[in-house]
Chain A
Amino acid sequence: DAGITQSPRHKVTETGTPVTLRCHQTENHRYMYWYRQDPGHGLRLIHYSYGVKDTDKGEVSDGYSVSRSKTEDFLLTLESATSSQTSVYFCAISESPDASTDTQYFGPGTRLTVL
């Protein structure tokens, strides 16, 4: 298994509070991604990173920010959590964006509940 950990694995928080989720990898892969999984929607890309301090928005980035100060860590922050952000969040990593040679590996997920 690819060395990806996510923390926390479960979190319950209240509307309006900031929340930070962490993705940590030991593979030294350049590309990292944050997805959210919701019933009926599959997984949707929130933000991604193509190197240290290099990030960009995905399909559903509103209300989220990210930071990557070192290769192994990719942080996802919900600036002011809302109930619509209740979801399961997955981090993924890839050595390169070329699927003909590399695969995206997924972490175990973080289940976030916003009350």
Chain B
Amino acid sequence: AQSVTQLDSQVPVFEEAPVELRCNYSSSVSVYLFWYVQYPNQGLQLLLKYLSGSTLVKGINGFEAEFNKSQTSFHLRKPSVHISDTAEYFCAVSDRYAGGTSYGKLTFGQGTILTVHP
């Protein structure tokens, strides 16, 4: 079984400040890791994903995330946030694709609401 824990339910920050949203995961098998963003009253949009290789992953809108296997973490960062980054962010995990009965099911964290203040 897999689980995802987002360590902060809400993160307030001022515009142009850096931000880190924390995510820890638990799994008995190798996984893929994702960050999704949900703007108010919209569906989810993929920010970035870690599949393998380099532990630093760059995504859209200037976000990046670092995979740390020993700490089972996948924290999301942005060096300078904008008002438009105000949204809810979800960390998610899925089993690595192994063919056959692998169905790409995602397990999500509880979400972190990022509020950027002017």
Binding site for B on A (CB under 8 A): 4, 31, 33, 35, 40-45, 48, 50, 56, 58-59, 90, 92, 94, 96-100, 102-104, 106-109
Interface residues in B25-67 (C-beta closer than 8 Å to A): 32, 34, 36, 42-46, 49, 51-52
Q: Once bound together, how far apart are the Cα atoms of A6 and B91, in whole Å?
A: 24
Cβ–Cβ < 8 Å partners of B42 in chain A = 108-109
Confirm or deny: B110 has a beta carbon within 8 angstroms of a beta carbon on chain A.
Answer: yes
B46 and A41 contacting across the interface, CB-CB below 8 Å: no
Q: Once bound together, how far apart are the Cα atoms of A90 and B43, in whole Å?
A: 7
Cβ–Cβ < 8 Å partners of A59 in chain B = 107
B43 and A107 contacting across the interface, CB-CB below 8 Å: yes
Kindly identify which residue among B9, B105, B107 contacts A48, using a CB–CB cutoff of 8 Å.
Answer: B105
A43 and B90 contacting across the interface, CB-CB below 8 Å: yes
Instruction: State whether A97 and B104 are in contact (beta carbons under 8 Å apart), knowing that A106-B45, A108-B42 are contacts in the complex.
Output: yes
Contacts across chains A and B counted by CB atoms under 8 Å: 70
A106 and B104 contacting across the interface, CB-CB below 8 Å: no
Binding site for A on B (CB under 8 A): 4, 6, 9, 32, 34, 36, 42-46, 49, 51-52, 90, 92, 94, 97, 102-111
B105 and A100 contacting across the interface, CB-CB below 8 Å: no
Q: Please give me the residue from chain B that is nearest to A97 by CB atom.
A: B104
Q: Please give me the residue from chain A that is nearest to B32 by CB atom.
A: A99
Instruction: State whether A40 and B110 are in contact (beta carbons under 8 Å apart), knowing that A98-B104, A107-B43 are contacts in the complex.
Output: yes
A97 and B43 contacting across the interface, CB-CB below 8 Å: no
Q: Once bound together, how far apart are the Cα atoms of A56 and B4, in whole Å?
A: 22
Q: Once bound together, how far apart are the Cα atoms of A100 and B108, in whole Å?
A: 18
Q: Please give me the residue from chain A that is nearest to B99 by CB atom.
A: A98
A31 and B111 contacting across the interface, CB-CB below 8 Å: no
B44 and A106 contacting across the interface, CB-CB below 8 Å: yes
